[in-house]
Amino acid sequence: MTISPSIRQTSPEATVSPSDRVLRTHLPKREATPGVSVREADVSLRLDGGGNGLLDTTHFDTVRFPPPAWIQGEMATAIDNGSWAYTPYRGAPEVLESLAGPISTFLGSDVGAENLALTPGTQGAIFTTLSAIVNEGDLVLLADPDYLFCERILEFLGARVERIPLLFDTDEPTLDLELIEKLSAEKPKLLMFSHPNNPTGAIYSEAMIARVAELAVAGDFLVMVDELYSRLVYGNTPFHHLRTQPGMPERSITLLGPSKTESMSGFRIGVIVAPNSIIQNVEQCLAMTSLRAPAYSQRLLGRWLTGDADFLAERIADLEALRDMTVAKLGAVPGLHMHPQNGTAYLFVDVSAFGATDVEIAGALQREARVIVSPGYQFGAQGTGHFRICYARDEAEWAAALDLMVTCLTGFATRAGISA
């Protein structure tokens, strides 16, 4: 039967209300700006990851920073082998076996294949791991600011979230360890943080990592640390993996992946390193949500973390130069403050002195500079009054964009009565 165009035009589209779980991800308890929820602000700023024709600084420029040259050949080989299309839910056994050694070396802690699961990106690692271990009502401690989807996933799962401020008023950036210790009395299920921190790029000291481990052991809670950016560390800055601390192989969950350093985000592959008891439950969640990480992409991990010292050194040098250029140009804006760090490719810019909301500033940057930034409210209450930019971009294009951003932001400073 053929349906006439007139019927198509007059048939109303059904409206289906979102589930309570989805509504919780809007973070109604925390407004982006008075009267506007976090979700409403995201929609108004078109923060859907698509770019919408603007220069999108919410992620890396994978044209300027492409994946390693060997990727295309390895992917073609994988696709040619049709028998590799299906794997066990946690990943191809031979891939897991081949990864155990390089990951052990990288983390400085023994890891077996039974401690690994492959996921659809590190985002998939966060969701499946939390789904595997967090119950409704469980107390979860989450760094503030931190990766924007962590709190939303926890709310989706019905967890009780307490944010742990990241402090910059000490010699080195640190989580509020006193608050973690205080909340330990409430028997949290889990502490979560990214390292280096997303959005600020902060790298934590050995003393802080050791103290987190001590608190976790004493308080008998798990710690999930997202180390997606742990290879993007500049100069001789030391990096300390939580898993190496006493008692932590048994109670830590480390998330890794090639999405950022190797620009392999489009291949959707992440890695969970955890006790086997957790991996078994993660496997069940993978079976229900995605069956497995992309099977052909799994094969690309055979060359990951090995033999790429020159590639890594060149990438870090380029990003460090872009960081310095970004800081130098934005430094011309009166009243703007920055804490440039030695990790990631992010700069978290403090514009709280301008007296404007994150939404207003992000909207103005879209209109006047044609640039999409990540407004600070997305990362937690501590992020309010900031925005995050990813400076992993083409140098000439980025220099021109920064000039437009400086003009726009200087206008805010002028209206706030701030002069150079």
User: Which pTM was predicted?
Assistant: 0.94
Which DSSP string do the residues of 2-24 spell out, in sequence order? PPPHHHHHHSPPP--PPPHHHHH
pLDDT of residue 35: 86
At 418 the pLDDT is: 95
* Residue-by-residue DSSP string for 162-223: EEEEEE-SSSS-EE-HHHHHHHHTT--SEEEEESS-TTT-----HHHHHHHHHHHHHHT-EE
Query: Angle at the Cα of 73 (from 68 to 75), degrees rounded to 5?
Result: 90
pLDDT at 249 over 80: yes
Q: How far apart are CA 69 and CA 361, in angstroms?
A: 38
Q: Are 91 and 279 in contact (CB under 8 A)?
A: no
- Give mean pLDDT, residues 2-14: 58
Tens digit of each residue's pLDDT (9 = 90 or more) over 174-218: 999 999 999 999 999 999 999 999 999 999 999 999 999 999 999
CA–CA dist 220, 189 (Å, integer):
8
**pLDDT, tens digit (0-9, with 9 covering 90-100), for 72-98:** 999 999 999 999 999 999 999 999 999
Predicted confidence band at 7 (pLDDT cuts at 50, 70, 90)?
Answer: very low
**Cα–Cα nearest to 387, from 362, 414, 354:** 362
Question: Of all residues in the chain, what percent carry a pLDDT higher than 70?
Answer: 97
Write out pLDDT tens, residues 364-393.
999 999 999 999 999 999 999 999 999 999
Q: What is the mean pLDDT of the chain?
A: 95
What is the rounded distance in angstroms from the CA atom of residue 393 to the CA atom of residue 397?
A: 7
pLDDT, tens digit, 9 for 90 and up, residues 207-247: 999 999 999 999 999 999 999 999 999 999 999 999 999 99
- The β-bridge relationship of strands 139-144 and 190-194 is parallel
Tell whether the model's pLDDT for residue 153 goes beyond 70. Answer: yes
Residue 205's pLDDT is 97
What are the tens digits of pLDDT across the range 351-366? 999 999 999 999 999 9
- Tell me what percent of the residues of the chain surpass a pLDDT of 90: 91
Mean pLDDT of 301-306: 94
DSSP for 113-161, please give it: GGGEEEESHHHHHHHHHHHHHPPTT-EEEEEES--HHHHHHHHHTT-EE
pLDDT at 8 exceeding the cut of 70:
no
Q: What is the per-residue pLDDT across 268-300, written as a single tens digit (0 to 9) for each?
A: 999 999 999 999 999 999 999 999 999 999 999
Q: Is the pLDDT of residue 2 over 60?
A: no
Query: Is the pLDDT score of 160 beyond 80?
Result: yes
Residue 3 reports pLDDT greater than 90: no
Please give the average per-residue pLDDT across 23-41, as a whole number: 90
Maximum Cα interatomic distance, the chain, rounded to a whole number of Å: 74
Over 60: is that where the pLDDT of 1 sits? no
pLDDT at res. 130:
98
- For the segment 96-110, what is each residue's pLDDT rounded down to a tens digit? 999 999 999 999 999
Contacts of 105 (CB under 8 A, 6+ apart): 305
Q: 381 CB contacts (<8 Å, ≥6 apart)?
A: 30, 144, 163
Residue position matching structure tokens 């023994």: 110
pLDDT, residue 91, reads: 98
